[in-house]
Amino acid sequence: MARVFDQCQQGVPHYGAIIGLDDLKANLAVNCLPEDLAAYQPDQFEAFLTECRRLMAQKIKQYYQGL
């Protein structure tokens, strides 16, 4: 993820086409991934999954409230 954040700061793509921090944040949100993704280490995988579940539940709730 460090290279992805670097490409957002440099504006030069290494992975994919996201070259802006706003675009990266939007992509993470759409995929129910925490914005502080780089803060999660392998030993924190369960905490990462818990946060992903919370974000998915929030997205589902917003969808149903919008019906």
| Complete DSSP assignment for 11-64 | ---SSSS--SHHHHHHHHHHTT--TTGGG--GGGHHHHHHHHHHHHHHHHHHHH
pLDDT in tens, 42-58: 999 999 999 999 999 99
Please report, for the chain, the start and end positions of each structural domain, with discontinuous segments joined by +.
Answer: 2-65
- Quick one: pLDDT at residue 17? 87
- Quick one: pLDDT at residue 14? 85
- Quick one: pLDDT at residue 27? 93
Reported pTM: 0.80
